[in-house]
Chain A
Amino acid sequence: MKRLSRGLRTLADCAPIANAKAPDRRMRTAVSRAKRTEDFAAQQSFDRAVAKLVQATPVSTEIQEWFANERMAEGAKRSWKKTALHPAILAIGIALVVIAVVAWITFDEQMHAFPGTATAKKLLNVAAMTRPSEFEPMETEAGTLNDLFFMKYRLEHYDVPPEFSQQRTIGVRVFDDDEAGQVAQISLAEKRMQLFLFPARRDSKSGKPEEFEGWRYIEQEGWTGAVQARKGVLFMAAVRGPKKDLAPYLTTKPQLR
Chain B
Amino acid sequence: MTGEASKAQDIFQDTLREAAFLVANREPPADRYWFFREARWRCLDVVAQGVQPEHATNESTELSPKAPEQIEQLEPEQLAIWISAAPEPQRSALALYYLDEFNYREMMSMLGLKLTDLSRAIASGRREFQAWLNTTVPAAASE
Binding site for B on A (CB under 8 A): 9-11, 13-14, 16-18, 20, 22-24, 27, 39, 42-43, 45-58, 60, 62-63, 66, 72-73, 75
Is the pair B79, A39 in contact by a Cβ cutoff of 8 Å?
no
Instruction: Decide yes or no: A14 and B107 within 8 Å by CB, A45-B65, A51-B98 being known contacts.
Output: yes
Contact B76 A51 (CB under 8 A): no
Q: Which residues of A contact B119 (CB under 8 A)?
A: 9-11, 13-14
**Could you tell me the dominant secondary structure of chain B's interface residues?**
helix
Is B20 located at the chain interface by the 8 A CB criterion?
A: yes
CB distance from B60 to the nearest CB of A (A): 13
Contact A10 B103 (CB under 8 A): no
Q: How far is the CA of A165 from the CA of B76 in the complex (A)?
A: 107
Question: Could you jot down 12 A-B contacts, CB within 8 Å?
Answer: A14-B107, A14-B119, A17-B98, A23-B105, A42-B64, A50-B98, A57-B79, A58-B76, A62-B5, A63-B8, A72-B16, A75-B23
- List A contacts of B79 (CB < 8 A): 50, 53-54, 57
Tell me the bound Cα distance from A30 to B104 in angstroms. 13
Quick check: B67 and A46 within 8 Å, CB to CB? yes
Cα(A166)–Cα(B103), bound, Å: 93
CB–CB A46/B103 < 8 A: no
Task: Establish whether residues B63 and A42, one from each chain, have CB atoms under 8 Å apart when the complex forms.
Answer: yes
A48→B98 CA distance, assembly (Å):
8
Q: How far is the CA of A45 from the CA of B23 in the complex (A)?
A: 43
| Complex A-B, nearest 3 residue pairs according to Cβ-Cβ distance, in ascending order | A14-B104, A57-B76, A49-B68
CB within 8 Å of A: which B110-133 residues? 115-116, 118-120, 122-123, 126, 129-130
Asked if residues A17 and B67 are in contact (CB atoms below 8 Å), the reply is no
**Residue contact A42 to B65, C-beta cutoff 8 Å:** yes
Measured between C-beta atoms, what is the minimum distance from A139 to chain B in Å?
A: 77
Contact partner of A16 among B80, B103, B118, CB < 8 A? B103
In Å, the complex CA distance between A67 and B81 comes to: 23
Residue of B nearest to A21 (CB): B103
**A27–chain B nearest beta-carbon distance, Å:** 7
Interchain CB contact (< 8 A) of B104 among A11, A48, A52: A11
Q: Which residues of A contact B130 (CB under 8 A)?
A: 46
Closest to B13 in A: A66
Of all chain B residues, the one with the shortest Cβ separation from A10 is B119
* Residue of A13, A16, A48, A73 contacting most chain B CB atoms (<10 Å): A13
Q: Of the candidates A10, A22, A45, which one forms a contact with B67 in the assembled complex, judged by CB atoms under 8 Å apart?
A: A45
Q: Which residues of chain B from 4 to 37 have any CB-CB distance to chain A below 8 Å in the complex?
A: 5, 8-9, 12, 16, 19-20, 23
Judged by a CB distance under 8 angstroms, whether B99 is at the interface is yes
Task: Output the least CB separation between B103 and chain A (Å).
Answer: 4
A43 lies within 8 A of B126 (CB): yes
Assess A10 versus B16: contact at CB under 8 Å? Given A23-B104, A42-B65, A56-B76.
Answer: no
* Residue from B79, B99, B119 with most neighbouring chain A CB atoms (10 Å): B119
B64 contacts across to A, CB distance below 8 A: 42
With a CB–CB cut-off of 8 A, which chain B residues contact A10?
A: 115-116, 119
Task: State A14–B8 Cα separation when bound (angstroms).
Answer: 27
B143 within 8 A of A: no
* Contact A13 B122, beta carbon cutoff 8 Å: yes
Q: How far is the CA of A72 from the CA of B130 in the complex (A)?
A: 40
User: Which of B20, B99, B118 is in CB contact (< 8 Å) with A14?
Assistant: B118
* Cα separation A203 to B65 with both chains bound (whole Å): 93
Q: List residues of chain A with CB within 8 A of the CB of B100.
A: 16-18, 51, 54-55
Given contacts A23-B104, A57-B79, are A11 and B63 in contact (CB under 8 A)? Answer: no
Interface residue? B74 (CB, 8 A): yes
Task: Give complex CA distance A2, B71 in Å.
Answer: 25
